[in-house]
Amino acid sequence: MSAKNIKKVTLGDSISLEEFIAVARFGALVEFSEGYIQRVERSSQLVEKWIEEGKVMYGVNTGFGAFSTVLISPEETAQLQRNILLSHAVSVGEALPVEDVRATMLMVLQNLGQGFSGVQVETLEMYRQFLNLGLTPFAPREGSVGYLNIEAHIALVLIGEGKAYVNGELLHAQEALSKVGMKPIVLQAKEGLALTSGTTSPTGIGALALYDMLKAATVADIIGSMTLEVLKGTTRAFDERLMSVRPHEEQKNTASNVRKMLSDSMIAKNYVDYRLQDALSLRGIPQLHGAAKKTLHDALKTIEIEMNACTDNPILWSEEDYEGAISGCNCDSSYVGIELDSACIAATALAKMSERRNNRLINGQLSEYPTFLIKKAGLNSGMMIPQYTQAGLLNDMKILSHPATVDSIPTSADQEDYVAMGYNAAKKARQVAEKLEYILAIELLSVYSAHQFVDEHLSPGSASKAVLEQIALLVPKMEEDTYLYPHIQALRELIHSGKLIDCVEAAIGKLH
């Protein structure tokens, strides 16, 4: 089931990316399974038991990071957990979008709900209610290396500190809690550390970015097919036999999507032998789109594993052969970070193809249509300047495709002498995904504009026709210069919302 149609998600077993997005973006309600509650309660009881026995456990009765050798008395345990939130809530700059914060909270629930973290059910219940009641903590987006800072800002609201949004209004935490009928809590041993530890923000924010990239990759097949069609390209380059001798699954499936899009196109049939060979941005769609999708699918596998894992540090172990807190590095964000760095490169590759296809549409020397797809050129600029926008966006995407995870700046007095930088990979992946949608939207606007010059005796395929009819509801036919910004925004929303894919699949069935 698609994310926007899921109304309730039960935490306890593994969840999918679609379920994750249903909560983070579309507001699906969150429930805890009985197994989830039992796991959390058992782990919480372990912490109480070990504190009574006087066990020394990192972050429970010791300081954090470079202060891991400093013992904390039982009387100061609650203060220690409060202090970690106050001292770690130091990310800066503009606020994260609401859905990024919701994604991070959901990841905290997934992470700590594995039953290895020693938190109370009541504490996790607070986050569950935040999600269900629409209370979203304020968290600045800049200055995290992989965890801690963002999570601390979010967790402050639990103890009545910091700020939160309720119905779009930014309030002091205590006022926000009161608005939804809740009160601050006092954190118990290990809870402050558990709430800030783990790959929760990189994974949550990265999941949103990857979801949009995967959708955009399918949209790129749709729009690329429509560009091929209107540019009188040959479908021979997408022959199943050609794909069979280079058997990459994503390449084969992309070619299948193009064939399906154009199977009943009179335009495509009429021009199948018009050229012996098209430019690479047209005939190379299966190969480049396929390679990009392969990278995105690899990232999906990793993200879904991470979404359903325990990335806390330390983890609490209750087996008879070893009972205690095991401190390691499950909180390292390299898995997520490296995949998202790769996903940025894949998305940028899709964007560079889209921009080149758009150039062929608007360049009269390449398309056989009026230059910039407008009548009375010179008086009118038509689709000239949107390609400038593509160029600017694509330049940004190339900069953002530099991998964050190759960098390492030591922190915590060299106790953390290697740092994964997975958060920055996730943060830039969100920007890359949005820019890709805009670049595709501009190509689609050019396709729409080009169709006013197509031979009226040649009908497009049913999928193309459905898309063109959908666009006609939003964008007037451009016979002279007009204010293009609202049209670009409308087409980007058509892409981002998934409505473009829905429109095509309603006409021709499910795409790969």
**pLDDT computed for residue 326 by the predictor:** 87
Place of tokens 């990278």: 295
Q: Please, are residues 6 and 19 in contact by the beta-carbon 8 Å criterion? A: yes
User: pLDDT tens digits, the chain, 512 residues: what are they?
Assistant: 899 999 999 999 999 999 999 999 999 999 999 999 999 999 999 888 887 777 777 767 776 666 767 777 777 778 888 999 999 999 999 999 999 999 999 999 999 999 999 999 999 999 999 999 999 999 999 999 988 999 999 999 999 999 999 999 999 999 999 999 999 999 988 899 999 999 999 999 999 999 999 999 999 999 999 999 999 999 999 999 999 999 999 999 999 999 999 999 999 999 999 999 999 999 999 999 999 999 999 999 999 999 999 999 989 888 776 778 888 999 999 999 999 999 999 999 999 999 999 999 999 999 999 999 999 999 999 999 999 999 999 999 999 999 999 999 999 888 888 899 999 999 999 999 999 999 999 999 999 999 999 999 999 999 999 999 999 999 999 999 999 999 999 999 999 999 999 999 999 999 99
Fold of 206-508: Fumarase C; Chain A, domain 2 (1.20.200)
C-alpha 295, offset from chain centre? 14
Closest CA to 234 of 274, 264, 284: 274
Measured in degrees and rounded to the nearest 5, phi and psi for residue 32 equal: -105, 135
DSSP 448: H
Residues 74-78: contacts with CB within 8 Å, 24+ apart? Answer: 77/51, 77/188, 77/189, 78/186, 78/187, 78/188, 78/189
pLDDT at 143: 95
**Paired strand residues for 11:** 32
Cα dist from 166 to 23, 129, 140, whole Å: 17, 12, 17
* Contact between residue 238 and residue 369 where contact means Cβ atoms under 8 Å apart: no
Domain assignments of the chain as residue spans, ordered by start: 3-197, 206-508
pLDDT at 64 (0 to 100): 64
pLDDT at 211: 98
Q: Which fold has domain 3-197?
A: Fumarase C; Chain B, domain 1 (1.10.275)
The neighbour count for residue 288, using CB atoms within 10 Å, is 20
Predicted confidence at residue 59, as pLDDT, reads 66
Q: Count the alpha carbons within 13 Å of 341 in the hemisphere toward its beta carbon.
A: 18
